[in-house]
Chains A and B, each alone.
Chain A
Amino acid sequence: MKHIKILNGSTLKDSLKNGGCGECQTSCQSACKTSCTVANQSCQKN
């Protein structure tokens, strides 16, 4: 493409297929204890 650069594809929809195992870290256990940020957590499967 000339005008658009795709940085990443349909990652959220793809994660419907094999997500939801719940083995990942709870976000409040990493650093935030007063503000919720979930998207910066990592998936236990990767």
Chain B
Amino acid sequence: MVMQFLKKAGLGVMLAMISLAAHAEYTWNFPMPATPMAADTLHVHNKFMVIVMIIFLVVLSIMIYSIVNHRKSKGHEAATFSGPSTKSQVLWTLVPFAILLYIDFILMGIPAYHSVVMMEDTKTNADMVIKITGSQWRWQYEYMDGEAQGVKFVSNLTTPQDQIDNKAEKGKDYLLEVDNHLVLPVGKKVRVLLTSTDVIHNWWVPAFGSARDAIPGFLRETWVRVDVPGTYRGQCKELCGKGHGFMPVVVDAVSAEDYSKWVEDQKTKLAAASAGADKTWTKEELVEHGKEVYVKNCAVCHQAEGQGLPPTFPALHGSKIATGPIFDAEGKLVKDGHLDRVFNGKGVMPAWKAVLNDTDIASVITYERNGLGNSVGDMLQPAQVKALR
């Protein structure tokens, strides 16, 4: 076992060395900055690194000099001083102190002050506002004003489980790919509001230089102004449970025209979805659409076959809730019933009311009752869900 590991490890190091030379994807520093904040951060970081390297090397050379020359084996006699004794020696001991004071509060302190002020100024000349909501384990984006006002969608990881389980070859953007990208216009200052529905998350794109926690029950803010068009990838950076490594952020920064086009598309989609909520669906249509919704949103905890991961994540197959009544005899929502649980959540189960639209909720519930080995036989219409909002 150990030998096997060592062999594997040795091979790994060799492979690592070869690939280091071959495609050099690794980096030694922050990624290329795409926002003014990231440019500033990189600048500050580089400056500080040079300063601390110089301090380190100076001190290290003094030590090495002493280690080499003041050895007993070379016959060096120990001095007897235990502190500065003359006035000039006292002055000399104060010199490094003064240098450090200068480095801390002038050389590093002043640029740091300006960076902080710039970083926290989310409001001055902000062109638009978006709201980002973290949930276990996905991001939800909502455009609060401007031409895209009202556009909102959920962004889920799309890397197939087979790649994570090493059953399929990993793609180029392994773990850094999502179904719906956040799209932002280039050169516009975007004020970003953050919150969460369950635990603390942190929305982080390294090329943007801003990382801010999303805290349940509170709004926090930061800002981005992407100056270079392109696709930027990042990850959640606050431990948020088992899916922490699997909730990436992908942002497309596009020109004003492309942005308007994208907004049009989104609005058409939203209109179609809301029209969908008014029509009557067949059970087959609901189950088919519901399966898609289930795989994207529910399978991570309740598992693909509905077997769950007890005790934290209960099975849906044969579950009392998923096979019990949705409405009581008077047509009222059953407390702790199937729809109530999906709508409002409980404990670890998130509330989906604000995340999924009427059609998605109706179809996923219909799927859970008629798929996953359950056969309740009934169905839920999007219109019924809509009526409860």
Do A and B bind?
no
B residues near A (Cβ < 8 Å) are none
A residues near B (Cβ < 8 Å) are none
